[in-house]
Every structure is written in C-alpha cells, then in structure tokens.
Structure 1
Amino acid sequence: MALLITTAVSISFHLLLPAELGPYLIGAAVASCGWGLYLLMVRFGGISGHQTGIAAEEWTAGELRVLRWKRLGWKTANHILLERSDVDHVALGPGGFFAIETKYRSNWRDADIESIAAQARHGAQRLRPRLGPKAVVRAVVVIWGQGARERCPQPSEEADVVFCCGPDLVPFLLDQSTVIDPEAVQSAYQQLLDNSRRRDIAELAEDGPFARPAIYGVVDTAAVALAVMCTTSATLAPVSLQPAGWWSVAAATVTTSICAALRQRVANLTVRYFLLAVATTAAGLGVIVLAATLFNALN
C-alpha cells in the first residue's frame, strides 16, 4: 500500500511539477516510503488501539498525580506486575487500599462489564498479599471513551467493583472515610515498592522496555515529518552550485554519516527516529542526485 501511494505521488510530481524540480521531490517521496508503511501499520495493524489503551492509563496516572500533590497522605504507583498479570494503578491512603484498572472503549454501551469486573477483582485479590497479611483491597475500574459519562454518571459499585469516570477518581478516593493510619499506609507502600523493583528488573530483562503512550506516536510522526522536510531542503539547496549536483551528494553523504554516528549514542526514541529519518532521506536523495549527475555527465 505504501509503495502504491509513493508511486502515485511520484507520478503526480512528474506530471505536475517543473522538470527541474520533479526528480528531487520524487526522490524525497521514495526515501519516505518506509515511514508511510510504518504509519499504515500503526493505523490498520491494531497498534493504534493498543496505544490508545496505553494513553488511557496515562490519563489515569495523571489523575492520581493530582492526588499525591494534595499531600493528604495518599501513595500511588503504576503498572504493578503480578504473576501472569498486572494492576494498572494502586492507590494507598487513609481511605483504604485500591487496585485500579483503566479501560478505554470507543462505545461503552456494548462493553462487557462482567468480564471487566472479574479482571479487576482478580487484580485486587492478587495484590492483597503484597500489601500485608491483613490488607483489604478494593477493586476500582476507571473508564474513558465515548459514552463513559452516560454509562457511569457517578461512581457506582457493580459486582463488588467500583466503576467511575476518569475525572471522578480523585474525588471518589478523597470522599472515603478514614480507615487506615499513616504508618500502615507507609508500610504497605514500602512493601509494594520493594516487590515492584524486583519484578520490574526481571520484566525489563525478559520483555524489554514498556510500551510507549500514544502521544509519543504523534510526537514521533511530527519529528519524522520535520526531518524529511528539512533534510530535503538542505540536501537539494546546493544542487545548482558548480560542479552541479556534487555539492548535494557531498551534503547527503556527510549528513547520513553524522546521523548514523549520533544515533548510536542517543537513547531517546524520538530523537533516534528523527536521526533515522534524516539519514534515510539524505541517503535516498544523495543516491538519486548522484545517479542524475553521472547520467548528465555521460551524456
């Protein structure tokens, strides 16, 4: 699909643009074919749905950060790994201990509430031993998406699980009566942290880094688009300088080499994507300009 789109764009450039400019823009389109394929995979390969779920977890984590900022004795944690499962969020405070699951649905009218509640109860049961032998953990499901407010206008309990919309989570927790003293909260939180550190080290070693939120996909795409545009302009700017074409080839070669070297030293994924886009675009344009220059020289 990406190849077909690139071919169509290239033909359009060839037919509609001046002969002097068309080949270079065609080269830019060809060099960007891989990124078009990546975007299509994200959109139609199910990746975008997974990223949306991760984004919803980030929204809930943001709500819980507000709870900590209020300095009312609450402790929170995210992505608590259990055996063969995990709990999205944990809130520990004067109002009790809560295992919180985040769910996003495009339409909550057709959601399977029973299975969601069963998953939340299971997470709460598995979390309890990690907070202390006498800990009581309540299950909460935070819902996001279209129809969430209609489905749950206010926090309510269904099948021993509390369901609430994202913005209602913190008010619900703060509205709970005080049942836990600060020492017990701190003790449970410390036990949770100790266990999570051990589990996270093992998980990272086995599975690699955690999936990134959807917003990073937007940032990555913007960075790649900027890289392609800037690289195309910078590489083609000196194309008419004498000796014609060779300055663009030199610029492309230097740019590709520098970006390839820098990419080995950078850990940030967005920066790595940016450098990769610059390197591949420069390399593609460099090859095309070199071929055109040699062709003109031989004829």
Structure 2
Amino acid sequence: MTAYLLRRLGQTAVVLVGVSVLVFALVHLVPGDPVRLALGTRFSQESYDALRERSGLDQPLLVQYFTWAGRALTGDLGVSFRTGEPVTLLILERLPATLLLAGAAIVVALLIAVPLGTVSALRPRTLLDRAATVVSQAGISIPDFWMGIVFILLFAGTLGWLPTGGYVSPADDPAGFLQRLVMPAVVTGVVSGSVLTRFVRSSVLEARGADHVRTAEAKGLGTRVVLSWHVLRNALLPLVTVTGVQLAYLLSGVVVVEIVFSWPGLGQLALQAVQSRDYPVLQGAVLLFALTFLVVNLVVDLLYTRLDPRIRV
C-alpha cells in the first residue's frame, strides 16, 4: 500500500508540473496586453514600464515560469493585475462559496442517482425503467444555463419563493444562505445526477447477473438480503469513481451556473481573469483546478482499494 501511494504521489507531481508548464504557455499565448488593460486608456510610458517590471513581464518566459513556479510552491501565486490583491487571497475568498455549492450539488446528485438508477435496474424494460431513462437523458441534454433561467423565472419571478441569486455567508444569515443555495445546487445536482444515474443503472444490472448473486438466490436468501449485501454493495463501487470525477468537476467551478445565479465562486473568478487578461489570477485558478482533479482522483483510488480487496491483491 505504501509503495502504491508513493508511486501515485510521484505520478501526481509529474502531471502537476506538466499542467503548470502548459497553463503558463497557453496563458501567455492569449492575445492582448494585460499591462495596458490594467492601466486603462491613459498612462505614461514610465508607468507602463514600471508595471511590466514589477510584474516580471520584462523577463524571458523561461525565467518568468521558474519564478512563478517557485513562488507557487510556497503558496505565493502572485498579485492580480486588475485589483492589485494577492492571488492566493482572492482564491481563498472564493473557495468557501465553491465548496458549499459543490457539496450541496453532489448530495442532490446522489439523492437523484442512487434511488432512480437502482429502481430502473431492478425493473428493466418496464415503463418505470423507460421513464427513468427519459428523465436522466433529459437532465444530461438540457443546458444548465437554460434550466437555471427557468428556475429563476418560476421560483423567483412567478412564485416568489426564492431570491433570484446572490450569495450571503451562512455564518451571517443561515436562512438567506439556504434560500440562495437551493436553485444553483438543484440545477447543478440535476445535471450531475443524470450522469450518475446511468452508471448506477448499468452497475446494478451487471451486479445482478453475477455468479455469486445467482448462487445466493439459489441458496434461498431473501430478496432484501441479496439486494443489500450482494448487489448494491458491489454495484455502488464504480459510483465512487464517477462521483469523485463529478465532485472534482464541481469544485473546479461551474462557470455558467455561477454566472446565472451571481454565485461568487472560483469559476466566475477564472472567467473574470480571462476577460481582463489577468495572468496571475488565471494561472493560479487553473493550477488549483488541476490540483483539485489530481487530489480527488488520488483519494478516490485509495478509497477504492479499501472498498474492493481484489484491487489490493
């Protein structure tokens, strides 16, 4: 187990270095001068040169990369061109909103996927199975921004039950926070839950046809015991991996949903950085996204080895 963990950590480090090089190169290929955007329409050549020098943009690209990467290892991701604030501070300010939205969305997704996918698999080729397939396919196909707009028109505009969007700290106003969390969490959770439903259904169908399940049924075990101990426990193992991928995706910021509901998360921060050519913020956000995917995948792999003894062997 220790050797496996060390090997995976080494692979994660190599991938992260490659991602950092790719991110740094792609960001600098984006057209536009971030210094001009930061200074506005009126500036002197002296102020322009001073900002370029202070930002390190007057150095060769190789020097810029190693300087940025070395500081990133210590948690220093630079300073925003647009606001002048430390990038690490900007990310930490947006991180709680993203964590809360992603956590709520994954709970909604699992509440949809596990029962719907299981019931669909236990009643294959029935009207219930076809209805579940249509619902999950619709959830995958409908754009999340359109669903968000419909939710706003219905629950905020017509019924007046919920606010149209925004964000308040749960510590300051728990009720207001929950009211603003419901719609973006449900919209995001429906999309992720539709994807997970397909995996749950196929996994349960595969587990029901396994030899050990047929043996358990032949021995006269009750249907509830067979389903809980022999079908669901094995069928839900692949769900761990898919849920981890969905969680990493949500933590990386659902940009469209955050914009529709004015949710100040990391996705919205990255989009603002792209629009303003804010190199440090964009590099820091994308590097955090990559690190999130790598860490979540590593945790899922380690958890999978604990859940499935065959992998350890």
TM range (shorter): under 0.3
Larger Rg computed on CA atoms: 1
**Greater helix percent: which structure?**
2
**Greater strand percent: which structure?**
1
Which structure is higher in RCO with an 8 Å CA cutoff and minimum separation 6? 2
The alignment's TM-score, normalised by the length of structure 1, stands at 0.25
